[in-house]
Structures are given as C-alpha cells and as structure tokens.
Amino acid sequence: MKAQDAWSAPKPTALLVLADGTVIEGRGVGALGTASGEVCFNTAMTGYEEILTDPSYAGQIITFTFPHVGNVGANEDDVETVDMEGTSGVRGAILRTDITTPSNYRSGNHFDAWLKARGIVGLTGVDTRALTALIREKGMQNAVIAHNADGEFDVEALKAEAAGLPDLEGMDLAKTVSTQKTYDWNETTWDWEDGFGAQNKPSHHVVALDFGVKRNILRLLADAGCRVTVVPATTSAEDVLALKPDGVFLSNGPGDPAATGEYAVPTIRSLVKSGLPVFGICLGHQMLALALGGITTKMHQGHHGANHPVHDYTTNKVEITSMNHGFAVSAGSLPDNVEETHVSLFDGTNCGLRVKDAPVFSVQHHPEASPGPQDSHYLFSRFIELIENHKTPAAA
C-alpha cells in the first residue's frame, strides 16, 4: 500500500451550496434531504433551541459562530413556537463541531434527535467563522443545504436550485407561522422551583397580533398582569377592537415588513388612530414604522445575536440585547411626530421609536430573550404604564 493511500478523508454527507456557486462540505446531522433558504449567522453563545424555534427565522439557514452547539441537549421548556410539535420555519443549521452527548440536568433529548424530529437539516464540521466572513463580505445569500447519508449529490443541480431561489425581499412569511385561530394565553415565565406558572388574576386585557410570536413574549405580558388574546396576522382592526382590549401588541415575525404590511399596515394604522396603547417588537416595530409613514430597507448581513449593545435615548443607558432581523427602519424617514428612542451601537441603525402625541412605541430588539439578562424587561412595564394611564386618564 502506498503511503498516500493509507488514509483518505471521509466522504462528506452534507453540503451547503450558495447562490454564488460556493460549495461547502461537511457531515450531515438532523433530518435527511434538502432545504433552501437565506443563510445568516448568529453570534449567540447560548440559546440554540430558542433560536431554532424562533418563528422570525422562517425561511433562513442559521450559521452558529459559537463552536459548541448542542452540548447541553434539548428540552421542550426552551421551545419558542407556540405550536410545540411544529417547526418555526427554520430551514437548516450549520455547526462547527460535531454534536456531543448531552451534559445538562435539564436535557430531555439528544440535539441530533431533536433536529430530526423537527425536520431541520444540519451540517457540521464547517469553518463557520470563514462562512461568517463570507456573509459579511457578500451579504446574506440564498443557499441549499443537503444531507444524504451515502454522500451522493448532484452538485450542479443544487447550484442551479440555489441560484434560482427568490429573495426574502418582497416575501410575506408571517402568514406561514401565524396562528390560524384566536386563543387565550395566561402562562407566566419559568421559576426555578415551580416551572411555568399561570396568570389567574389579570388586571389588563391585551390583544396580540401574531406575526410569528414567541412564547416568552406572551409569558412576560402575562407576568405583567395581562390576560392575552392572540389573534391571526390577518385580523382586521374592527375585529381587534371588538375584543375590547386595554392595549394592543404587535409581535415579532419573519420576512419583508413591506410585504406583510400590505394587509397588516392598514390594520395597525387604524389601531393607532383608536387611541389604544400599542407596543411592537421586531417585525411589529418595522410595520408600525410603516404605518406611521416611515420606510424599511433590507440589511446587508442583518443583526442576529445575543450581544448587541443598544443605546436607549429615553434613559441614556446602554442595554445588551438580543437581535434577529434582516430589515431595518430608516430613522430619517420617520415623520416629525415620531421620535427615535433606541439605536444600535454596532452600526447606528434604528432600534426603537415612540409617537410623541400617542401611547404608541416599539423596539427592534427582543427584550423577552433576556440576554442582559433583564436589561430590556422595563419595556413591558412601559407598556403597562401606558395602559393604566389610558384606563384612568389624569384629571383635567
């Protein structure tokens, strides 16, 4: 046997094929088959379950820059989709190292088995930092991720598929992850001793428009004393108002805000005109800006991570936030009666607004994700204060 024949690299069982023709080889994990979507990167060191079940990631393949993903296993308590058995719409996951045996007392399942059960195609053994650098240079590209146990791939067909995928710009994905029926929510946040609780004595009623809402947002609203009624993304303003809410919440979600805004912006505009307190997060923030007369634009690489510093002009404090968005509100497009309240210290993009003459505000980041860990929880208190002031206006 010749020296060079003594060892050969194992055949790759998974590929990532980018729209520009780049082919990245690795080892397959999770579901078998192929999936397509826009490739982004996330810089968080923890929270991979929450990330992969966040409906805001629908239509995307997530590259984790932190090398050790899956090492604490998986459990159902950390799932963010309201439909526990369904998926958030995430298309794939790209990891640096192989998934290890779980090492955590909360683990209920091996991460690889969890990916399989949710139909998420995964790829390990990738230099994720090099891929991140490529995304930073060229922007978020479309791609196809493929996992085949025998390592047989039609690379040219995958390249053609990746090159022909439609962009997220102009795509309404909120309908694919929104609830299809109205439901009530009273579950509160997790407690070390007792797990999740219940809000049995609510003081306020909030209607949440679901564009891809996360469970922990609803829990924090319940924590704040709210009975929450969750309604589909396409619900009209008339139907929202018929529920007699004390306030309205506009949820996070995926896709292009201008596309979802085709039906949601007129609703939001009417709700603002009703005088009710309105609070928006993420996609809800972007569509509120559109309803107020602003514009949104597609970002080059987006913001995805749990370490994003944001300056709150209303308190002059800096908070560490969790971000997940590929579109941004253009601060310069906001009308005179709308004030920019938060800004990213990474790139200066808009992260919050409020209406000067109405009880209406929103933020781009995710306060419920607790990266600070509670730097942004005050936003829910602000919402409750607006609701209470609206219910008992100051004496003339």
Same domain, 151 and 179: no
Same domain, 205 and 339: yes
CA distance 338 to 284: 16
pTM (2 d.p.): 0.95
Task: Respond yes or no: is residue 368 known to be catalytic.
Answer: yes
pLDDT bin (cut points 50, 70, 90) of residue 396 is very low
In the numeric block, which tokens belong to residue 224?
A: 């704040």
Mean pLDDT for the chain overall = 95
pLDDT bin (cut points 50, 70, 90) of residue 4 is very low
List % helix, strand, coil for the chain (3-state, nearest 5). Answer: 25, 30, 40
pLDDT bin (cut points 50, 70, 90) of residue 374 is confident
Q: Residue 333: is its pLDDT beyond 90?
A: yes
Q: Residue 327: is its pLDDT beyond 80?
A: yes
Same domain, 341 and 206: yes
Tell me: the pLDDT tens digits for 124-166? 999 999 999 999 999 999 999 999 999 999 999 999 999 999 9
Residue 342 CA neighbour count, 13 Å, CB half: 28
Q: Residue 65: is its pLDDT beyond 80?
A: yes
CA dihedral sign of residues 300, 377, 83, 206: negative
CA dihedral sign of residues 87, 128, 254, 213: positive
Same domain, 155 and 278: no
CA distance 254 to 303: 13
What pLDDT score does 393 carry? 73
pLDDT more than 70, % of the chain:
96
> Among all chains, which residue has been given the structure tokens 């369904």?
86
Task: Respond yes or no: is residue 282 known to be catalytic.
Answer: yes
For residue 268, list its beta bridge partners.
none
Same domain, 116 and 232: no
What pLDDT score does 394 carry? 60
**Is residue 5 assigned to a domain?**
no
The answer to whether the beta carbons of residues 101 and 70 sit under 8 Å apart is no
* Contact partners, residue 17, CB within 8 Å, separation at least 6: 23, 24, 143, 144, 145, 146, 155, 158, 159, 161, 162
Specify the higher pLDDT residue, 184 or 374.
184
Closest Cα to residue 367, out of 234, 224, 242, 270? 224
pLDDT bin (cut points 50, 70, 90) of residue 8 is low
**Is residue 2 assigned to a domain?**
no
Residue 230 CA neighbour count, 13 Å, CB half: 24
Mean pLDDT of 35-59: 97
- Identify the domain boundary among 121, 138, 163: 163
The catalytic residue among 49, 282, 285, 319 is 282
CA distance 138 to 134: 6
What pLDDT score does 3 carry? 39
pLDDT bin (cut points 50, 70, 90) of residue 84 is low
Task: Respond yes or no: is residue 308 known to be catalytic.
Answer: no
The catalytic residue among 285, 308, 342, 366 is 366
Tell me: the pLDDT tens digits for 265-293? 999 999 999 999 999 999 999 999 999 99
Q: Residue 82: is its pLDDT beyond 50?
A: yes
Number of domains in the chain: 2
Range of the domain at 109: 12-163
- Helices (H) then strands (E): counts for the chain: 10, 19
pLDDT bin (cut points 50, 70, 90) of residue 371 is confident
The catalytic residue among 49, 50, 161, 368 is 368
Side chain identity, residue 59? G
Closest Cα to residue 291, out of 263, 328, 332? 263
**Is residue 274 assigned to a domain?**
yes
Instruction: State the CATH number of the domain containing residue 193.
Output: 3.40.50.880
What pLDDT score does 307 carry? 92
Tell me: the pLDDT tens digits for 166-222? 999 999 999 999 999 999 999 999 998 899 999 999 999 999 999 999 999 999 999
The answer to whether the beta carbons of residues 276 and 115 sit under 8 Å apart is no
